[in-house]
Structure 1
Amino acid sequence: MQQLQRTLSTLFLCILLTSPTAFTSTSQSKPQDLVRSSCVHARYPRVCVRTLSNYAGPANTPLDLARASLRVSLAHARRASKFLRALSEGGAAAMGKRQQSALRDCKEQISDSAEQLRRSLDELQHLRAETFRWQMSNAQTWVSAALTDGDTCLEGFAGNARPDVKRRITDVARVTSNALCMINRLGQSGRPRPKPKPGN
């Protein structure tokens, strides 16, 4: 229940701080202005500005930002998943049985989190006007599930997670929470406009 409340509070915070008018006005801004004006609504604005400002891909529209934030989150989740696999194979022997069990569960949960983020990114890569609301709902659901996986991972350690494990999972949670905000901002905009045909 506590996990669900945290996830819902993140989503509702984004909804309350975002309006279609704000979305429309920022969509015409320069890339860095768009990043800053969008990140101010995120739960972790400094992390948001840092990760999206350093992102190498295009970030000229709110859709670009939503995709970029998901790519950032997915990359962090995959790195954390790789770290947890290596730890479970090489460093788990020094842990107690309860910690070993929590590490195994955490490894599975973060792997699942990465898959949920991948599915969300794929959905945003194939948005269509006629199914926009349904696709956005899918993306929000999957990113929320990814956040819950991270919460469940840390709770499994009962407050005794190794500092390096806690740091990596917390890092994933922050960028994923920000990604949820960017997706929510996109969802508030309405249907995407079709790209103009060449020569028009």
Structure 2
Amino acid sequence: MNMSVPFSLLFTLIILFLSVLISSTSAKKPGDASQDLVRSSCVHASYPNICLRSLSSYSGPANTPGEVAQAAVKVSLSRARKASNYLANLRSQSKREQGAFHDCVEQMGDSVDELSKTLSELKHLRSGSFRWQMSNAETWVSAALTNEDTCLDGFKEVTGKVRSDVKRKVTNLARVTSNALYLINRLDQSRQKTP
């Protein structure tokens, strides 16, 4: 039984198979390069899963290390504002809680200011003052992180659901802010390596 396939049909099938294979492996979606940068940027962050989750859902540009650092600060700033609003609207039952809320709201307000200044600095980086600007950004994000930790310190003596809610929100914010600091440091280090 002779089952010979015409050469032209065989050749056409091979070409078709190769073209499908090549197009499926090489065709990247427009956001793939951005997602690859986010993944490689987040891999060594303090909280890599949080970094990847928060920046993967970010809707703005994240195509360069500078844009990734800005995105991380924007995410942190947004969460700081939400945490500040949440704390400002909580009603306390005791004087101890009132003091903790007041101090924490003040700390969150300071964090919002520091993250806002950081974002502004990152948006206006210039080669002549890059080192100075990066130092400012790193200092402000570090201060925001300290404020978030200080906010939590005030709730050590508070018990119950209020404490656990505040701790959860502020701890998540501190982790996002820590990742932002890492990405700013990474941007600073990568820039120092370029001639």
Q: TM-score, normalised by structure 2?
A: 0.78
What one-letter code is carried by the residue in structure 2 that aligns with 1:44? Y
Instruction: For residue 156 of structure 1, report the CA deviation from its aligned partner.
Output: 1.2
Q: What does residue 173 of structure 2 align with?
A: 172
What one-letter code is carried by the residue in structure 1 that aligns with 2:61? P
What one-letter code is carried by the residue in structure 1 that aligns with 2:86? F
What one-letter code is carried by the residue in structure 2 that aligns with 1:183? I
Instruction: For residue 159 of structure 1, report the CA deviation from its aligned partner.
Output: 5.0
Unmatched segments (≥5 aa) in structure 1: 1-28, 194-200
Q: Where in structure 2 are the equivalents of 1:22-171 lying within 5 Å?
A: 30-87=33-90, 91-92=91-92, 95-158=93-156, 160=158, 162-171=163-172
CA distance in 1, matches of 2:61, 2:167: 31
CA distance in 2, matches of 1:123, 1:77: 18
CA distance in 2, matches of 1:58, 1:150: 27
CA distance in 2, matches of 1:156, 1:165: 11
CA distance in 2, matches of 1:77, 1:159: 23
Which has the higher mean CA deviation after the structures are superposed, 165-174 or 69-78? 165-174
Which has the higher mean CA deviation after the structures are superposed, 74-83 or 154-163? 154-163
Unmatched segments (≥5 aa) in structure 2: 1-31
Larger Rg: 2
Q: TM-score, normalised by structure 1?
A: 0.77
What one-letter code is carried by the residue in structure 1 that aligns with 2:183? M
What one-letter code is carried by the residue in structure 1 that aligns with 2:87? L
Instruction: For residue 131 of structure 1, report the CA deviation from its aligned partner.
Output: 0.1
CA distance in 2, matches of 1:112, 1:83: 15
Between the aligned residues of both structures, percent identity stands at: 59
CA distance in 1, matches of 2:191, 2:71: 19
